[in-house]
Amino acid sequence: MITIRTARGADEPVLAEIDRHTWTSVVSPAPAPPPGTPFFDEDARPEDFLVAEHDGVVAGYVRLAAGHDIPAHRHVLVIGGLAVAPDRQRLGIARQLVEAAVAEARRRGARKVTLRVLGHNTGARRVYERCGFVTEGVLRGEFRIDGTDVDDVLMARSLA
């Protein structure tokens, strides 16, 4: 059984471990955080994350945060991270996390949810598309990863 809830401070070690096991150049252009880097900080608080539990075990997370901190952008929330533990992938957890993030965004009064995903991350793009996200723009060759130019894909789902 999969349940979704708001993260708690006590989730930090397991969420950091999930990040450690899933952080690759397929999912992020940035280097992995150094060992011992806190998962939560002043810009990434537990209340910014939804956590999936599979059979009572924390299995993944999605981060939902404000985008630009200006009044004209308050109607938009951003998915700023999604990860599922490798041994819990392909169980529908990512999709449930994204749908839960969309529901939470709607509950908070958002009219749109956006995200950015690397062009070569076809698995994540497929999950987002199945959740109703569409490509709104592509920054061609925005990143140079492992010697290859990689696109940055902006996707969004309207809640209006």
Separation CA 75–CA 106 (nearest Å): 10
**Residue pLDDT, tens place only, 126-159:** 999 999 999 999 999 999 999 999 999 999 999 9
The confidence score (pLDDT) of residue 29 equals 94
pTM for the whole thing?
0.94
Separation CA 83–CA 137 (nearest Å): 23
Q: Is the pLDDT of residue 35 over 90?
A: no
Separation CA 135–CA 116 (nearest Å): 10
Separation CA 86–CA 90 (nearest Å): 9
Look-up of token digits 């009064």: 109
**Residue pLDDT, tens place only, 38-76:** 999 999 999 999 999 999 999 999 999 998 889 999 999
Query: Using only C-alpha atoms, what is the Rg of the chain?
Result: 15
Q: Is the pLDDT of residue 85 over 90?
A: yes
In order of their start, the domains of the chain are: 2-158 (3.40.630.30)
Average pLDDT over the chain, rounded to an integer: 96
Grouping H, G, I as helix, E, B as strand and the rest as coil, residue 13 is helix
CB burial readout 74-103, b (16+ within 10 A) else e: eebbbbbbbbbbeebeebebbbbbbbbbbe
